[in-house]
Amino acid sequence: MLAVLYRRWGVLALTVIAIALADAAASGIKALVDRERPPLRYPEPKTLVPLPHDESFPSGHAAMSFAGATVISFAFPGLAPVLYVLAAAVAFSRVYVGVHYPLDVLGGAVVGVLVATALRLLVTAQQRSRGAMRPER
């Protein structure tokens, strides 16, 4: 029972870390790319939500949702299809409401998956090194 609780808290912690890192990575890339949002290119802004004031590429919402979906799907593979459908719905919503281009959300999805995968590789390497350092009994 304790192992199951520990695993769930570990997944929650890794998910929060992955989402924070994906947001930071997306914000950093946004500052470098400096791409205007779709409504700013046209004379009359037409969005369903208030227009964000930062750059467009990549989508932070897509990056964070795909990072979270990826981390949780590593821990619970049976949930992966549902998680990725939800993440894709978040990404699509950003295009639908008119604040991102499709390439923005695709870029955000790639950033999120890469951040989550890198975090998993880092945690796995750390666990292996801890296991190698334990003395044999």
Render pLDDT for 100-134 as a digit per residue (tens, 0 to 9). 889 999 999 999 999 999 998 888 888 787 766 66
Structural tokens at position 73: 């799907």
- Average pLDDT value for residue range 40-49: 57
Question: What are the residues whose beta carbons fall under 8 Å from the beta carbon of 89, sequence distance 6 or more?
Answer: none
Q: Residue ranges per domain, the chain?
A: 2-133
Q: What is the pTM of this model?
A: 0.81
For the domain 2-133, what is the CATH superfamily, name and number? Answer: Phosphatidic acid phosphatase type 2/haloperoxidase (1.20.144.10)
Of the candidates 110, 105, 109, the residue with the CA atom closest to the CA atom of residue 95: 105
